[in-house]
Amino acid sequence: MELKRVVVTGLGALTPVGNNVPALWEGLTNGVSGAGPITHFDATKFKCRIAAELKGFDALNYFDKKEMRLFDGYTVYGLVSVDEALSDAGFTDQNINDDRFGVVWGSGMGGVTSLQNEIIDYAANNRNPRFSPYWVPKVITDICAGQIAIRHGLRGPNYCTVAACASSAAAISDAFNLIRLGKADAMVAGGSECAVTEVGIGGFGNMRALSTRNDDPQTASRPFDRDRDGFVLGEGAGALILEELEHALARGAKIYAEITGAGLSADAYHITASHPDGLGVINAMRQAIEESGMQITDVDHINTHGTSTPIGDISEPKAIVGLFGDHAYKMAINSTKSMTGHLLGAAGAVEAIATILSIKHGLVPPTINHFNDDPQIPALDFTFNKARRHKVHFALSNAFGFGGHNVCLAFRKF
């Protein structure tokens, strides 16, 4: 069986540095930090009081109050980003081949905000079981994929992927393979997260995963810097339209890039810490390159997972050197989480979008907030503090998750 070729024809994003793709790209290339004091709730008593929240976003500009009763924030974010991606790809609900168009959507925590609020309301009402009849379909992690399909009449393959912070990258991998195998002509793929809430900040904070640089939030996310102290929790969504090449060409679609490979692996090491030598990461990157029919010396750029955590920011560069050898020092490497914060399950999709736009524009966004080199980290070209023109023909986007999940996506200039 001959595998189909798959291209990216539409992009959509809702992020702390921009509420659509053009605004995201402008923010990234200008080194804008999306971090600030938490406004979603009173964080006074929390160790971490900062996050990368959306700016100027009002869901009522997209949905009426009746609709909003059905949606957790992560579904709202997903639907908005998908609307942009479908429009960008030139699809309307009238020109979609419903039975051959599907959705794979990722989220690490699903409707955690609604779950938290229902439990708080339950406790506050003397444990009277007055749960909302909508709360189960708001909370379950697969519901965003279902709501996307309902909104646009997409009757192709439909499910969610849950792989912690690698969830949306896994969704893109699955969508890619469904099209390659001929099970769909086009797929919506991506992920969303809405976890800047008491349980999100409290849970990650007590794990000591979050930065507590509360007095200087805009520089708190410091991937690969010596003084990094944890990630900045973010929120939002990223959506990609993947399409079989001949299908895209037949309708005259614009093509951003070709997705050529996806590597998946496990560290099999620890529930939260990455393998110190990055063995699983090496495996995932090698798979993605080999599946693309490329060589390691063909890679021009890697958008790293780069979360600003003490351990993870050491193991990933070590893995890059372990696989690429001398070529590791010739690639432009960055972490856009320095600006967006960590969008958990949505991170992989947003960073895939950034990688694709680097290919399209020949411009690599910076890793901002670098002040001091870390002697434990190999001196790679991390594109510190300022975007740089760099011809990108073939690039990787890495995403990893608690539990040891690793996904590497490979994109090539079309």
The amino acid at 413: K
Residue 115: φ, ψ to 5°:
-60, -45
Helix axis angle, 143-152 to 73-88, nearest 10°: 40
Could you please report the per-residue DSSP string of 374-412? -TTS------BSS-EE---SEEEEEEEETTTEEEEEEEE
Distance CA 308, CA 341 (A): 9
Catalytic residue among 247, 275, 301, 342: 342
Are the CB atoms for 278 and 328 separated by under 8 Å? no
* 270 catalytically annotated: no
Calpha distance 73→224 (Å, rounded): 31
User: Dihedrals φ, ψ of 304, to 5°?
Assistant: -80, 165
Question: Which class for 56: exposed (0-12), middle (13-18), buried (19 or more C-beta within 10 A)?
Answer: exposed
Rounded to whole angstroms, the Cα distance separating 176 from 174 reads: 5
| List of E strands, 321-393 | 332-334, 363-364, 388-389
| Residue of 48, 165, 194, 408 with catalytic role | 165
Does the active-site annotation cover 361?
no
> Which residue in 152, 305, 370, 390 is the catalytic one?
305
Considering only CA atoms, which of 81, 290, 99, 288 is closest in space to residue 186? 99
Would you put residue 252 in left (φ > 0), alpha (ψ -120 to 50) or beta? left
**Does residue 342 carry a catalytic annotation?**
yes
- The residues that are catalytic are 165, 305, 342
